[in-house]
Chain A
Amino acid sequence: MLTPDVVIAVAIGYVGLLFLIAYVSDRQARNHKAAFLRSPFIYTLAISVYCTSWTFYGAVGSAARNGLEYLAIYLGPTLVFIGWWFVLRRLVRISHKQRITSIADLLSARFGKSSRLAVLITVIAVIGIAPYIALQLKAVTSSLQAIAGVGEFPGRTLRGIDEVGLALAVAAGMALFTILFGTRNVDAKEQHHGVVAAIAFEAIVKLAALLAIGIFVIYAGGGLEAIFSRAEAAGIDIYSTGNFDDRWVAMNVLSAAAILCLPRQFQITVVENSNENHLRTAGWAFPAYLLLMSLFTLPIALFGLTSMPAGANPDMFVLTLPLSAGQEGLALFSFIGGFSSATSMIIVESIALSIMVSNHIVMPIVLRVTQGHGVASARGVSRLLLNSRRFSIALILLLGFLYFYLTRDSDALAPIGLISFCGVAQFLPAIIAALFWREASLKAATSAVAVGFVVWAWSSFMPSFQSSSPLVAQIMAEGPWGFTWLRPEALFGVEDIDPLVNVVFWSLLLNTATLVVVSLFTSQSALERVQAALFADLFRRPGTGAPAVIRGSATVEDLYFVAERVLGSPRAKALFEGVAGAPPPQFIDRLERELAGSIGAASAHVMLSKVVSGDAVSLEEVFEMAGETRQVIEYSQELERTSAELRSTAQKLEEANTQLRAIDTEKDEFLSQVSHEVRTPMTSIRSFSEILLEEQRLTADERQRFVKTIHQESLRLTKLLDDILGMSALDHGEHGWDNTPIEAERSIDRAIEVCSALARQRRMQLTVGSRAPSAVISGEPDRLCQVLINLVSNAIKYNDAAEPMVEVRSRTGRGRYLIEVADNGPGIPKAERKLIFEKFARGQSGGVTAPAGAGLGLAISRQLIERMNGKLELLPATGQGACFRITLPLL
């Protein structure tokens, strides 16, 4: 008797067989023996990984519910394959040339090797595929339950395991199986001969099983005519009236998109393709396979509907029909067929997705963190890649299970699959643009995919949680925040539209519109233009390889170092054979494509760029890559760019010149000021000495006074010359002293002592305000004292108030030491507040001139304080007098 235990044991045995096939095929492939493994028929059978348990179980369910609709899922791909010459051939050709590893890699490569786009595509793919994985888990779980007789055949229980537990066990088993199966190779190259062989074998198994069930049903039902007649008599509309409507069109579009965009289809059709000419066979053989798979779907559905008890799940007819007829062997075969469809899908899909996750998310992060050199051992990158792939596979199955868990109340299989189809279909506009439209830009592709994804997530993905989330249910009914025109299944207020048509139409429309409009209004980077030209001129220039995009001064050793880490020693050695000295650009290009084959185009480009450290693309190379006609256009564009650069250079030169002239003027000013400052004391000295020489009738007192004046003025002259020299030394960085820890308060004491004499002479008050008890700073005590004397004496000299006074105060706080010198004099006019710190600044505005002697003092003081890491500033005017503040960091 067929029990769950038997079925599970058979399933495990079947898995063992798959392992054996994969193992043998890998060995054969390695020894170049099995030519049949590279035959176009194996390739075609592997492509039929398209037919999952959705096809095996769900198509019958779909036919039972919606008649002919299920056919749309196979007609779309048929059209794509029949037209292989136009799209698939291009995809395969460009992917071979660029060593593309995934659909994310393809788009990233076309749009300037953008890692950001690759990440976006990867994330969308992982989210979009979750429902599809859930579908497989659900199908395997249901099939096990059907065997165990839950529902229709009470009594044979599955030892009390409920649906969720069973699905979790299936998911865990699948994850383990896929990890063992898909990531055995330590070599991280993306062609998996063993996997392809096993998938091809599974394709035969599932086709044979479905055909066997079909023949059994025709036999049991007494021929086609009898089956249809009985169904008609039972009141079933066998003519599928009204089936060819907008929903039919939408499904055809979706399935055509899916055959190109599903990560697993891209993996098998494009990445695993070993010879472009295989498409020639697949172009008709894959549609033929699809035809055979769907040949008996309708009869099986109709026979099930008329012969099974009401309420039986039509998704499981393929299994329950032979079971109820007591055909246990056939039922077991059917189970294995369904199991095959599910496992082959999960294996290839999670391998494809894990490659994307590790190449586009893990690898760039590692490269960024380690700067491209930190991976120590030669096997380091390979191991890292494999581990990240293993982790991603587990993650992908976990997501699938989570989706299953959250949406377990929905019953039919097909609608779940359509959600995934619609998700990945968002890549289609970008792919078509990548292949055919040269002007499509990175920004456009990124925003288009993002827009499509958002619409999909809103109108297709989110509604599937309707049964488990009241919030989602509310949004579905009323729209978010009461915006009814945003209701997920009636976007923009279009009511009475099929939900699938709604999401397909709006998401692809907005997606494509974004792509077109943004492309028209953005420009491409140099690398994007190069890659766009490569993609667009795919068939135009036979014979020439892609020109080197990275060039520079890397040695063979540098490159080997990188290659060994990614490709492993043997492959790197083979690749570098005969290469010595400076590697030619063609070689670097070839190496980049080899690396791209393992870690994706964007990562390979980053890695090599870091090693080669060359400039990205030279002008000549851009030209080399472009076709003849484009040369002129691009040349003129480059010229425009160059002349713009020249203009900006000229402008910079002019600015520099102006600055020089300003400095020159400044120098003239300076000399003229110095001249003035020197002449003033000289005038007195000369005049008085002439008086002394010429006048005989001077009194002793006069003589004494004049000599004293001469003495004072010559001192002033000396000080001035000292200042000028000191200024010049400061300007040239010859500070002439070392900062040492000093007690700044002592410098204040000294300055006050010196200045109080001057203050007394002028009959004014020099007050000492609040003082910090102690302040140790790093500086030079004499210079600090000098600055303070300068500030205080200025404040005394230029104070014309009725009761002139000057106050010196200091305080500490927040690690700083503040000294302030405030007076109640005329203050500093606003326009001159900045100017006074300039050398020889003299008020020149409004005819008001600052008194002589202020010339150099403040400029030098400021520089001295800066030399002590402090600053000297004039506090904002308060209306009365001026206040200078010195701020120094405390030690």
Chain B
Amino acid sequence: MAVDVLIAEDEPSILRSLDFILRRAGWSIEAVTDGDAALSAVRRSMPKVLVLDVMLPKRSGFDVLKQIRADDALRQLPVLILTAKGQAQDRRTAEELGADRFVTKPYANAEVVGAVRELMGLAPAVE
């Protein structure tokens, strides 16, 4: 069954806060805490939007993004990159790999919700 938003985030308290604000915004949510789980969940659950942390155990967020963009079935998936580093280099890497949005931690809740909403508009229509 499809979900609206898949969250890949290993830090429990941040995950809780994302889960809370995105549910409040009315989306169905699935959460994973490492890179491998993120990839398989994307394939299995076909989310409308992926919220992806960079520093993930087992497989980094950038690597997950690269795999998604290399996969014909997933290429169109809108991805929001979350990072705590916030350096220019990370932003460039994210753009090169094809991230649709880039949000730096700590974020304003509205910033994340707004970004996800925009990405929902971009998402391919799923019946």
Residues of chain A whose beta carbon lies under 8 Å from any beta carbon of chain B: 672, 675-676, 679-688, 690-691, 694-695, 709, 712-713, 842, 847-852
Contacts and interface: CB of A to CB of B under 8 A. Distances in A.
Nearest to A676: B84
A605 B11 CA distance: 76
Contact of B13 (A672, A676, A709, A847): A709
Closest 7 CB pairs of A and B: A687-B17, A679-B84, A684-B13, A683-B105, A683-B106, A686-B106, A682-B106
Contacts of B110: 690
Contact of A684 (B14, B24, B57, B59): B14
Contact of B106 (A679, A842, A851): A679
Nearest to A713: B13
Contacts of A850: 57
Given A676-B55, A847-B35, A852-B55, A682 B105 contact: yes
Contacts of B24: 695
Contacts of A687: 14, 17-18, 21, 106-107, 109
Given A683-B17, A687-B107, A691-B20, 14 more contacts: A675-B87, A679-B104, A681-B13, A682-B105, A683-B14, A684-B14, A687-B14, A690-B110, A691-B17, A709-B13, A712-B13, A847-B58, A847-B63, A852-B55
A688 B108 CA distance: 10
Interface string B103-127: 0111111100000000000000000
Contacts of A713: 13
Nearest to B63: A847
Given A690-B109, A691-B21, A695-B24, A675 B86 contact: yes
Contact of A852 (B11, B58, B85, B107): B11
Contact of B86 (A679, A684, A685, A688): A679
B50 interface: no
Contacts of A847: 35, 58-60, 63
B11 A685 contact: no
B58 A684 contact: no
A688 B58 contact: no
A849 B106 CA distance: 21
A848 B56 CA distance: 8
A686 B35 CA distance: 25
Given A691-B17, A709-B13, A679 B105 contact: yes
A679 B54 CA distance: 13
Contacts of A851: 10, 57
B44 to A, nearest CB: 21
B98 to A, nearest CB: 18
B75 interface: no
A684 B105 CA distance: 9
Contacts of B21: 687, 691
A686 B108 contact: yes
Contacts of A672: 85, 87
27 contacts: A672-B85, A676-B55, A679-B84, A679-B86, A679-B104, A679-B106, A680-B14, A680-B105, A681-B13, A683-B105, A685-B106, A686-B106, A686-B108, A687-B17, A687-B21, A687-B106, A688-B13, A691-B20, A691-B109, A709-B16, A847-B59, A848-B58, A848-B59, A849-B58, A851-B57, A852-B10, A852-B55
B84 A694 contact: no
Given A676-B84, A679-B105, A691-B20, A849 B60 contact: yes
B107 A676 contact: no
Interface string B1-41: 00000000011011011101100100000000001000000
A690 B57 CA distance: 28
Contacts of B85: 672, 675-676, 679
Contacts of B35: 847
Interface residues of B, number: 29
A685 B109 CA distance: 11
A680 B11 contact: yes
Of listed B10, B14, B21, residue having the most chain A CB within 10 A: B14
A498 to B, nearest CB: 90
Label chain B's interface by main secondary structure: loop
A680 B60 CA distance: 16
Nearest to A709: B13
Contacts of B18: 687
A694 B108 CA distance: 11
B10, B13, B16, most chain A CB atoms within 10 A: B13
A690 B18 CA distance: 12
Contacts of A694: 109
A682 B13 CA distance: 11
A148 B102 CA distance: 124
Among the interface residues A687, A847, A851, which one has the most CB atoms of the partner chain B within 10 A? A687
Nearest to B24: A695
Contact of A690 (B14, B16, B108): B108
Contacts of B86: 675, 679
A679 B11 CA distance: 12
A682 B108 CA distance: 11
Nearest to A690: B109
A687 B104 CA distance: 12
Contacts of A712: 13
A382 to B, nearest CB: 80
Contacts of B87: 672, 675
Given A679-B84, A683-B84, A691-B17, A848 B106 contact: no
A687 B16 CA distance: 10
Given A709-B16, A852-B11, A683 B107 contact: yes
B21 to A, nearest CB: 7
A397 to B, nearest CB: 89
A695 B21 CA distance: 10
Contacts of A679: 84-86, 104-106
Contact of A675 (B10, B16, B84, B109): B84
Contacts of A849: 55-58, 60
A850 B57 CA distance: 7
Nearest to A668: B87
Q: Which of B11, B63, B85 has the most A CB atoms < 10 Å from its CB? A: B11
A685 B106 CA distance: 8
Contacts of B59: 847-848
A690 B107 CA distance: 10
Contacts of A682: 105-106
A681 B11 CA distance: 9
Interface string B56-85: 111110010000000000000000000011
B112 to A, nearest CB: 8
A798 to B, nearest CB: 10
A679 B56 CA distance: 15
Contacts of A684: 11, 13-14, 16-17
Nearest to B87: A672
A851 B33 CA distance: 11
A492 to B, nearest CB: 76
Contacts of B63: 847
B15 to A, nearest CB: 9
A431 B40 CA distance: 90
A683 B55 CA distance: 14
A367 to B, nearest CB: 66
A686 B14 contact: no
A849 B58 CA distance: 6
B107 to A, nearest CB: 7
A625 B107 CA distance: 81
A539 to B, nearest CB: 77
Contacts of A676: 55, 84-85
Contacts of B55: 676, 842, 849, 852
B74 to A, nearest CB: 19
A685 to B, nearest CB: 7
A675 B87 CA distance: 10
A682 B84 CA distance: 10
A695 B109 CA distance: 11
A680 B84 contact: yes
A848 B84 contact: no
Contacts of B16: 684, 709
B27 to A, nearest CB: 16
